[in-house]
């Protein structure tokens, strides 16, 4: 599908019609690959917004996910997008991967926590990230939040990035490569349980590689936007015990220049249709006004602030642009 102009961390494209008759805002929601949660979540948002926001027609688009969604929004090719909090933090501040190049985006809402899930097949010999030497590891698709986080986490722990071969694959491609034996392990940074891992676990014996408490502390101490997390046992077939790992919150971002009234209506409709979104994925339960305030790593758009404050939630000064 050809990408439209706009982003939402689900990417959104905004088009103002020339016709005098009706003003229709065409919103293209930039999500991620079809094997993750961004895409179905974005499809749900598109349906909710199209049905409930006057003069809005929205559609979910497949993109390279977080980093690409930020860049699309900054360039004005989209206006809304789905992004991981670590990417949003560095993009807004012009640090890290975006050093000296702050991106013109603000947050609309916090979505849900993404969980780092490092998957291998039983018998691979990999029990920890320190066992990567001589292996082939998929670090995620180019431009994705998964690739972004995998790089930061491994460097924080002190893994020699030159000690193993890397592949840059999407979630579905990573699952297929594990099935084919062309890679030894792969990173997913996504809400559990995601369809691509569930499908893999239905045909192969998988293991989710855990992080030690010391490794978790190294990562969370270095980067305040990461937290320790235990992946629940039973999330995937054959993985019965909790797996200690790392998490990061996702946010919906918008262009700074997006009209306040439009962002207000989009945010208000998102919050008021949480039950519908939870039917698409249970982690949508986290997409609340309270979490928008408590979990957003960057300031909120004025339109979103209005929608949040109408719900009785106070927005601190640090989140006001």
Domain presence at residue 8: no
The two tokens of residue 139 are 């670090």
Q: Domains in the chain: how many in total?
A: 2
Contact 172, 186 (CB under 8 A): no
Q: How far is CA 69 from the centre of its chain?
A: 10
pLDDT, residue 8, reads 42
Nearest to 301 by CA among 235, 246, 253: 253
Confidence of residue 256 (pLDDT cuts 50, 70, 90): very high
Domain presence at residue 7: no
**C-alpha to C-alpha distance for 174 and 169, rounded to whole angstroms:** 5
Domain presence at residue 289: yes
Confidence of residue 3 (pLDDT cuts 50, 70, 90): very low
Confidence of residue 64 (pLDDT cuts 50, 70, 90): confident
Residue labelled with tokens 């991620």: 32
Question: Which SS3 state, helix, strand or coil, does residue 141 take?
Answer: coil
Helix/strand number for the chain, H first, E second = 11, 10
User: What average pLDDT does the structure give for the chain?
Assistant: 91
60: domain range? 25-112+251-319
Residues 128 and 94 in one domain: no
Give the mean model confidence (pLDDT) for residues 267-292. 94
Chain length of the chain:
321
Domain presence at residue 5: no
Residues 132 and 204 in one domain: yes
Task: Decide if pLDDT at 9 tops 60.
Answer: no
pTM above 0.85, yes or no: no
Q: Which residues, other chains included, contact 36 with Cβ-Cβ below 8 Å and sequence gap of 6+?
A: 65, 171, 188, 190, 194, 196
CATH code for the domain of 132: 3.40.190.10
Rounded (5°) CA angle 113-115-117: 165
List the single range of 15-24, 103-112, 114-123 with lowest mean pLDDT: 15-24
């Amino acid at each position: 599908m050809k990408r439209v102009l706009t982003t939402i961390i689900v990417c959104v494209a905004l088009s103002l019609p020339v016709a005098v008759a009706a003003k229709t805002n065409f919103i293209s929601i930039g999500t991620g690959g079809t094997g993750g949660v961004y895409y179905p979540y974005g499809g749900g948002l598109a349906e909710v917004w199209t049905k409930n926001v006057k003069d809005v027609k929205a559609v979910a688009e497949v993109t390279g996910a977080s980093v690409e969604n930020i860049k699309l929004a900054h360039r004005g090719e989209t206006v809304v997008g789905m992004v991981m909090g670590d990417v949003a933090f560095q993009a807004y501040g012009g640090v890290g991967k975006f050093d000296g190049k702050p991106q013109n985006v603000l947050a609309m809402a916090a979505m849900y926590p993404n969980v780092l899930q490092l998957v291998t097949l039983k018998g691979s010999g990999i029990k920890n990230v320190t066992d990567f030497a001589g292996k082939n590891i998929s670090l995620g698709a180019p431009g994705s939040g998964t690739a972004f986080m995998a790089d930061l986490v491994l460097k924080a722990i002190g893994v020699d990035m030159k000690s193993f071969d890397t592949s840059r694959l999407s979630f579905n491609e990573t699952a297929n490569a594990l099935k084919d034996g062309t890679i030894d392990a792969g990173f997913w940074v996504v809400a559990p349980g995601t369809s691509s891992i569930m499908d893999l676990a239905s045909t192969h014996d998988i293991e989710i590689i855990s992080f030690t408490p010391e490794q978790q502390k190294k990562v969370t101490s270095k980067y305040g936007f990461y937290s320790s997390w235990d992946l629940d046992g039973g999330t995937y077939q054959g993985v019965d015990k909790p797996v200690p790992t790392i998490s990061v919150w996702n946010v919906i971002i918008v262009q700074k220049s997006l009209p306040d009234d439009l962002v207000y209506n989009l945010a208000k409709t998102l919050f008021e249709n949480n039950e519908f979104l939870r039917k698409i994925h249970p982690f949508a339960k986290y997409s609340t006004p309270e979490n928008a305030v408590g979990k957003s790593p960057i300031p909120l758009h004025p339109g979103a602030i209005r929608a949040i404050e109408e719900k009785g939630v106070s927005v601190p000064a640090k989140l006001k642009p």
